[in-house]
Chain A
Amino acid sequence: MGNDILRLQGVVKSYGDFLAVDHVTFDIPKGVVFGMLGPNGAGKTSLIRIITNITKADAGQIWLDGEPLNSRHPEQIGYMPEERGLYKKMKVGEQLTYLARLKGLSAAQARQELTYWFKRFDIASWWDKKVDELSKGMQQKVQFIATVLHRPKLLILDEPFSGLDPINANLIESEIRELASQGTSIIFSTHRMEQVEEMCDHIVLINKGKNVLEGRVAEVKQRFKQNLFSIGYEGMPPENLQDASRIFDLKKNEGQHLTVHIADGADTNDLLRYLIGHNVQVRSFNEILPSINEIFIRRVNETVGS
């Protein structure tokens, strides 16, 4: 328990007749980048609003860093909502100081943190600019600083890359990695799977308010692998592979690559032995693990079907 930054136990939230969060349980270990996945309307934002103390759960328990969630905890959380914004007519420096102080920093602490970030992003000249004088990309940097300048233990980013230009996306990504390496726990809520695969150590998949899948990314991929392998070869494509159905069946044979599914009771050695025995010049041999995207779609379809 001491190693989890966040624990959710049977969390329920409904709006009228609509059950937005349905008995969700999961733990987030400290210092990981944790992906919270789910289609639009799955209940991710509802869950985040409960964790950030914006709304209260109808039932269930939540612990932040070992303590039951309470009203002082928002100061330890940095939250960048999907719907984000800033006071347009307020100056950047003033605005960030205000937001930092709302998170419990003193004026001096806020100034110190801001000096660090302004130097880091090389934006010292923006201090006295009004937000609506900045370009969208510049505003996104300011928004990011607002989220992290109180050095939260837990950072919650809701679709952090939506609307970011590629340069800012890269910058923010490297900042997220840097914070993670310094020990900040990060919840990364998204429906963009390629980012999850790149950045997350752990994931939870939410669909229709329910936790439908959870675990380390590598472990989840193992769990959902389908015994598929890719074999690269040289020379003529092998023929008459059909008689090997005891060992494998051929899924695809394209561009010097075979994709095969190893049959139950057979293993990779049986496969290689067979191929070599049939004079196939093997150049490469890889296991095909499902992408998070595939797993996501499969699980969502399964839960829709059930």
Chain B
Amino acid sequence: MDKLWLIIQREYLTRVKKKSFILITLLSPLIFVALFTVPILVTLFAGKEQKSLLVRDDSGIFVPANDTSANVSFVVAQEQLSELKRTYKLRGFDGVLHIPALQGNEDKLKLNYFSEKQLSLSVVSFIEQQVAKQLEAKKIIDAGYSEEIMKGFKTDVGIEQEELAFNKEGQLVETGKKNSAELATAIGFIAGFVIYIVLIFYGAMIMRSVMEEKTSRIIEVIISSVKPFQLMMGKILGVSAVGLTQMLIWMVMTFVLTQVATAFLGVDPSAMQSSMPMQQPPPDVIASQAGAVFEAITSQNWSYILPLFLYFFIGGYFIYASLFAAVGASMGDDMGESQSLSLVAMAPIILAIILISPVIENPTSSLARWASIFPLFSPVLMPARLAFEPPLWEVLLSMVVLAGSAVFFVWLSGRIYRVGVLLYGKKATLKEMVKWTFSRE
């Protein structure tokens, strides 16, 4: 036990003290924050470049928008189009927009823009929307209605999913919980992908470390002091501690940095989407949408989802970490040649991530059910389903299968590892790995 502890310590400390670890750990949240803040900064500063256009309006409908959030301004000119095209530059404009005369009830209208330089996509869509709106208003008035009346015709439709459940008397009653398909999908994808990435990242780390011990031949010195199984477990546990440390640092840093970013920029990163220019809905709509999202998020059963997420994460970690260790132990001295062997551990988890889409789209299908019980997939797929609230028996069955499988895979990998680490030179075949499992000590 003492020796296991020593191994865990070494595996942990040598990694945590590495410059590359410190660098990656510190830089990742900065990159994460940059992903949020750079677009905001870009729209705040770089986006200030103003376009000013001359407009020749033959339709008589155009009213220059006085919206300052758009980085484009219009001046309606009376001169001939050919004259404008010739002089716009001298007069300090970026281009000429021509709105043709209206024929009557057109359902398509082509505008022309003349300039040396192209308009950006956002300016194009802004102009199109402006003109379309004004044309719509003109049509409404031509048809004899007022704009006020038309506004009254519009209705915003949304579905609110209210959860029902049986009470003690056996009757279906409202639980007061609101379900959101969008949110559940988002949670599902995020949960599945986080586990997938972490398992592959740390699995590969373990595999490399086992191979390093084997190719550098330190392995024989070590296992003349400790059992191969102790070494393998020490490695798995040590690396898991590295992962937890990294995540802890990330969580703290992300929290601090987003706080700083929010205070500094005066922008809430989570509201970034709505701070983009164009199509900005009125503030009251944003507020009600944000309220709905917030309500849906808080009404998720986090005290149920989070511990289960952690459970499947840990179970999956033990399965894949030990698989990667066994593969590392079976590799030969030539890493390039041995790369194909890593597919043994990679294939199932890649398959799991391929299945995540169909499972989330149809979380109650039998594919979703059985794939999220199968232990090589469940660490990715069950957390992806949790927000859709799969039946309790499926979750429990999946948990039991996962726990049993984790023990089995650690045992299996220990058997392969103990033989593999002592065979130098050639990489092993799958057949040999199976043989090792049943060979005597």
Residues of A at under 8 Å CB distance from B? 15-16, 49, 52-56, 58, 71, 74-75, 77, 79-81, 83-90, 98-99, 101-103, 146
Contacts and interface: CB of A to CB of B under 8 A. Distances in A.
B440 to A, nearest CB: 7
21 contacts: A16-B435, A49-B422, A52-B224, A53-B224, A54-B220, A56-B440, A71-B227, A77-B224, A79-B220, A79-B224, A81-B217, A85-B216, A85-B218, A85-B219, A85-B221, A86-B218, A86-B221, A87-B14, A87-B218, A102-B3, A102-B6
Contacts of A15: 439
Contacts of A58: 440
A102 B217 contact: no
A77 B219 CA distance: 16
B440 A79 contact: no
A58 B441 CA distance: 9
B223 interface: yes
Contacts of A146: 221
Contact of A99 (B212, B217, B225, B435): B225
B27 interface: no
B223 A54 contact: yes
B310 interface: no
Interface of B: 3, 6-7, 10, 14, 212-213, 216-227, 422, 424, 435, 439-441
Given A49-B422, A99-B222, A102-B225, 16 more contacts: A16-B439, A53-B224, A75-B225, A79-B221, A80-B221, A81-B220, A81-B221, A83-B217, A83-B220, A83-B424, A86-B218, A86-B221, A88-B212, A89-B14, A90-B14, A101-B6
Nearest to B424: A83
A195 B213 CA distance: 30
A143 to B, nearest CB: 8
Nearest to A83: B217
Nearest to A147: B221
A296 B259 CA distance: 78
**What secondary structure prevails in chain A residues at the interface with B?**
loop
Contacts of A49: 422
Contacts of B225: 74-75, 99, 102-103
Nearest to B18: A89
Contacts of A87: 14, 213, 216, 218
Contact of B222 (A16, A55, A80, A102): A102
Contacts of A79: 220-221, 224
Nearest to A15: B439
A71 B229 CA distance: 14
B14 A84 contact: no
Contacts of B10: 98
B422 A54 contact: yes
B217 A84 contact: yes
B220 A84 contact: yes
B220 A55 contact: no
A56 B222 CA distance: 17
Contacts of B213: 87
A180 B92 CA distance: 98
Contact of B224 (A56, A74, A98): A74
A102 B226 contact: yes
Nearest to B225: A102
A55 B225 CA distance: 12
Contacts of A52: 224
Contact of B216 (A55, A75, A88): A88
A127 B350 CA distance: 44
A16 B225 CA distance: 26
Which of B212, B213, B223, B227 has the most chain A CB atoms closer than 10 A to its own CB? B223
A159 to B, nearest CB: 13
Contacts of B14: 87, 89-90
Which of B10, B217, B218 has the most chain A CB atoms closer than 10 A to its own CB? B218
A86 B213 CA distance: 8
Contacts of A84: 217, 220-221
A41 to B, nearest CB: 14
B232 to A, nearest CB: 14
A-B CB proximity, top 4 nearest: A85-B217, A102-B225, A85-B216, A81-B220
A58 B212 CA distance: 30
Given A55-B441, A83-B424, A87-B216, A99 B221 contact: yes
A110 B299 CA distance: 57
Contacts of B217: 81, 83-85
A281 B222 CA distance: 63
Contacts of B222: 99, 102
Contacts of A102: 3, 6-7, 222, 225-226
A141 to B, nearest CB: 15
Contacts of B424: 83
A52 to B, nearest CB: 4
A212 B24 CA distance: 59
B218 to A, nearest CB: 4
